[in-house]
Amino acid sequence: MEGHNFDIRKHLLEYDDVLNKQRTIIYKNRREILEAAVSGDKSALKRMIMDLVEQELEFVVSFHTNTEEKDDWNVSEIYETAKTIFGFNETEKTELLQTSRVSGSKVDEVETREKIVNWLLAKAKKEYDKMAESVAVSAGNAEEAENLMFSIEKNILLRAIDSLWVEYLVSIDHLRAGIGLRGYGQRDPLIEYKKETYQMFNELQANIQKEVVYSFYKVSAGLQLAPSVM
């Protein structure tokens, strides 16, 4: 009986260990944000957000050019997807589509992908600067503008992590409640649990990235519209 109970406890600990490793990663990211806030390192959160923006743009470009044939590149979808992050005028749209032209070789394809990402990243940085200018207009002085921008960045990062992590924990509870049934199909429930949580955690991180990027530029668009409304 003691041996049986030990095996049960060991099995439960193995399940807990999987989640604890993921919790460590999430809490580390969250702690870095809070430490930047406490230390007053106002450039740290900008770097975090722009890193996520770059990763999201790289994903968008890779997803729509992930084909052997350059003629199958869905360049218009790159534009359409990027347009949902931040707005484009007609000149910028033309520039992006021209940047996306590929002449032929594999080397040229790699270079073109890089050019597209760099163009979009430059656009993202320009939109960030516009947001900072809008914040400066609404703030009383440079220090207040800096603090307000810092607060916006911190809140967007923390809200994305916290809300999606809570949703993730609920999904994990549901998975764990029914994972034992996999044993009836001659599959090890623990192995199945590890495989599924690995995939789910990757999706969580991708969703946090996407939530931060889209939320940030949504706030940016709202701030830029505000002066013309007032």
Q: Where residue 6 falls among pLDDT bands split at 50, 70, 90?
A: very low
Indicate whether this model's pTM tops 0.95: no
Whole-number percent of the chain with pLDDT over 90? 56
pLDDT digits (tens, 9 = 90+) for 117-158: 999 999 999 999 999 998 988 887 888 999 999 999 999 999
pLDDT band at 225; cut points 50, 70, 90: low
**Chain-centre distance for alpha carbon 120:** 16
Least confident interval from 12-16, 95-99, 186-190: 12-16
User: Between helices 75-83 and 106-138, what is the axis angle to 10°?
Assistant: 10
Whether 212 shows a pLDDT value over 90: the answer reads yes
96 HSE (CA, 13 A, CB side):
24
Pair 136, 161: CB distance under 8 Å = no
**Tell me: the pLDDT tens digits for 49-84?**
999 999 999 999 999 988 767 777 888 999 999 999
Give the type of residue at 82.
A
List the one residue out of 18, 23, 26, 66 whose CA is nearest residue 207. 26
Extract long-range pairs of 62-70: CB within 8 Å, 24+ residues apart: 62/113, 65/109, 65/113, 65/116, 70/102, 70/104, 70/109
